[in-house]
Every structure is written in C-alpha cells, then in structure tokens.
Amino acid sequence: MEKIVIIINGNGGVGKDTLCDLAAKQFRVHTVSSITPIKEVAQKYGGWNGEKDNKSRRFLADLKEIFVEYNDLPFQYLCKEYSQFMKSKDQILFAHIREGSEIDKFKKHVSGACYTLLVTRNLNENVRWGNMSDDNVKMYKYDLIYENDKSLKESGRDFCEFLAKNIQEKLYRKRLHIC
C-alpha cells in the first residue's frame, strides 16, 4: 500500500478520532490535527482547560485564525508532521483540518495520494457552534463522505472496508488517468 493522506473533517461529536483509532487497528496510521499547536498555546497561556463547549470552540477557532494570519503556525505544524510521516513506515496520515482554505493549502503541499473525507452522523448535524470553522464544515466539496451510523462494535470493520474500497478505487482511477 502506498502512503495516503486523508484530510478528515466533520462536525463535533461525529466520531472522527474514534474512526482514526479503529483504522489504526488494521493500518499503520499517524493522526495529526491543525489545531494541536493552537491548543498548546491556549492551555499554556490562555487558561483553556480542554473544554469542548461553544465558547471554547470559538476561542480556539479565533486563535487559530490569528495564527494563520500571523505566521501560519497550523500549516507549518502540519508540514512538519507530514515530513515525519513520509519518513515513517506508516501507511495513512489522517490530518484533521476544519477550514476549506486550510484544507486546500495542505492538499497542495502533499505529493502523492491525498483525499478529503467528511464524516457525518445524524447526531449534532444541524448544531450551530458559533464559529466559522465548525459551522462551515459542510461547505467544502469532499472526495469521500462516510456516514458513521454503525455501532462502535461494527464501525471498525465498516470504516476500514470503506477506506479500502474507496481508496483503492481512487488510486486505480488515478493510475488510469480517469479521475
């Protein structure tokens, strides 16, 4: 299996992290998030304690936007993680990125197979989070959409089958220049 980057997105609570963990049971996976360096700054200097409420989500989204404009910290972090992934034996890099412009920027940086994946679930689908990063998740045109509607027990097998089928098909089409 060649190295594949999957930019994963979805509303809060749809199970993105859980799906990445389940995929790691079948594939060699490295998971990163563009918000990680922002969370570190927020915890160390901003008094953020890891809450995932609307106020905290807005704080992190606004802080991320400031860092994108100032020195592109989230993108620089992702580039460093991508470089480490390319040197590793891992097969799949899951990159959590919320904003469409940041998704496009990272896609341009990646050489090789890179796909965008939206994870959906009936839970929280119409919730307004109060910040542009979370509220505009569905505005992007994704390569793949996975409906996370299975039980936790069924999800691991189902998601890995989804990945294998869709990624293999896209790689095959790419080799034949059909995409």
CB of 152 closer than 8 Å to CB of 179:
no
Banded pLDDT at 133 (limits 50, 70, 90): confident
Give the model's pLDDT for residue 1.
Answer: 64
User: How far apart are the C-alpha atoms of 28 and 114, rounded to whole Å?
Assistant: 16
CB of 103 closer than 8 Å to CB of 5:
no
User: How far apart are the C-alpha atoms of 65 and 132, rounded to whole Å?
Assistant: 10
CB of 128 closer than 8 Å to CB of 135:
yes
User: How far apart are the C-alpha atoms of 31 and 27, rounded to whole Å?
Assistant: 12
Give the model's pLDDT for residue 171.
Answer: 60
Give the model's pLDDT for residue 132.
Answer: 79
Banded pLDDT at 174 (limits 50, 70, 90): low
**Who contacts 75 (Cβ-Cβ below 8 Å, separation ≥6)?**
34, 68, 102, 105, 106, 109
Amino acid at the residue 16: K
Length of the chain: 179
User: How far apart are the C-alpha atoms of 172 and 179, rounded to whole Å?
Assistant: 9
Domains of the chain from N-terminus onward: 4-175 (3.40.50.300)
User: How far apart are the C-alpha atoms of 52 and 158, rounded to whole Å?
Assistant: 28
Give the model's pLDDT for residue 87.
Answer: 97
Q: What is the pLDDT of residues 82-103, one digit of tens each?
A: 999 999 999 999 999 999 999 9
Q: What is the pLDDT of residues 8-65, one digit of tens each?
A: 999 888 999 999 999 999 899 999 999 999 999 999 999 999 998 889 999 999 999 9
Q: What is the residue-averaged pLDDT of the chain? A: 90
**Who contacts 61 (Cβ-Cβ below 8 Å, separation ≥6)?**
98, 131, 132, 133, 134
Amino acid at the residue 150: K
